[in-house]
Amino acid sequence: MSTALKPERNVASPMERPVKPRRWGTKIVWLVVTVIVVVAFWNVDINWASLTNFPANAWKYLKLLFAPPDWSKTGQALDATLLSVQMAWIGSVIGIIVSFPLSFLATRGLAPIFVRWPMRGLFAIIRAVPEVVIAVLILSVTGLTPFTGALALGVGSIGTLGKWGYESFESVEPGPLEAVRASGGSRWQIMRWGVWPQAQPEVFAFWLYRFEINVRASAILGLIGAGGIGKMLTDNTQYRIWNAVGILLIIVIVVTMIIDQISGAIRHRIIYGSWKIVGFGRRRKSLNVATKNNATREGLNE
């Protein structure tokens, strides 16, 4: 009887700590990462000593920017921001119109493989090229206008919207699709009555999300001359009119945050069916965690 309770010889005594598993793979990865970081610091062409007066410098410039900002430029800054937001809107509309049919062509079960993969490849390539570079390319066609900026944002939107689109089309419940197919629905009818009603809220939410991204990105496009926030910024930094830059920054921040809040609230309404002010630390009790997380992450990329 008591023998049954005796511990076997090669089992560690219960008073000892269990031995920590040695994870060689993890250690090697950490080592490689450390080496890469050290080499980068070592090799980069930066005079680290110049950083010693960075805090003082930063403080000086913060004072130049915001103490006080040039309130008389408020109207001009608002106009520039408005133009950027309009660019973002038109870009989103172009992106939506083009990407919507294309994402159906990239969906498994709706399009044959030789159409699907080229489409996905196209989306991937577009996502890899930054909007500014797209704008530089389009420049030669339309010249330096806000319209060029909007077009660039539109093309950039196709990449992300197309991807989110086919992902959400593929993640719909198969039941309704089967029902449509069983009652003799054509490919088009399967899309219209099987896929679309299910994917609709999510797709609308993605459209809004992309608009938020475009608002941020449109500020960038002005830097190459497409007008709006970026243009006003370069004009004023070049002549070092810092308090005008200050007011511009304030307006950009406020407008971006307001648009994010409104758009976030509408997205919440579309997905969950109720109005809620979404804040910073909202919890996503989600319908579809994977896609939504993806979108949030992609979203943060300018």
Partner 1 sequence: MSTPTRRTPDHALQRPQKPRSAWKAVLALIALAVITVWCAIGVGVDFGAIARNWNNASGTLLQLAQPDYAFFPKTLTALGETVEMAVIATAVSAVISLPISFLASRATNPHGPLLAATRLVINVIRAVPDILYAAILVSVVGTGAISGVIALILFDIGIIVKLVSESLDGLDRGPQEASLAAGGTWVQADRVAILPLAMPAFVSQTLYTFELNIRASTVIGLVGAGGLGVLIDNVRTFYLYHYLSLIILEILILVVVIEFVSSTLRNRLAR
Contacts (CB under 8 A) with partner 1, residues 78-137: 82-83, 85-87, 89-90, 93, 124-125, 128-130, 132-133, 136-137
| Residues 11-70 within binding reach of partner 1 (CB under 8 A) | 29, 36-37, 40-41, 43-47, 50-51, 54, 57-58, 61
Q: Rule CB under 8 A: is residue 140 a binding residue for partner 1?
A: yes
Smallest distance from partner 1 to CB 177, Å:
22
- Indicate the DSSP class of residue 111: B
Question: One symbol per residue from 242 to 261: x for binding partner 1 (CB under 8 A), - otherwise; what is it?
Answer: ---x---x--xx--xx--x-
H-helix or E-strand containing 193? Answer: none
Judged by DSSP in three states, 186 sits in coil
CB-CB contact of 222 with 228 (8 Å): yes
- Collapsed DSSP state (helix, strand, coil) of residue 118: helix
Binds partner 1 by CB under 8 A, chosen from 110, 161, 219, 295: 219
| Positive/negative CA dihedral, 209, 215, 221, 227 | positive
Q: Which is nearer to partner 1, 85 or 195 (CB)?
A: 85
**Separation of alpha carbons 147 and 268, rounded Å:** 31
200 forms part of the interface with partner 1 (CB under 8 A)? no
C-alpha pair distances (Å), 273 with each of 198, 239, 276, 287: 14, 50, 10, 12
Instruction: Identify which of residues 110 and 232 has a Cβ nearer to partner 1 in the complex.
Output: 232
CB of 298 to partner 1, least distance (A): 10
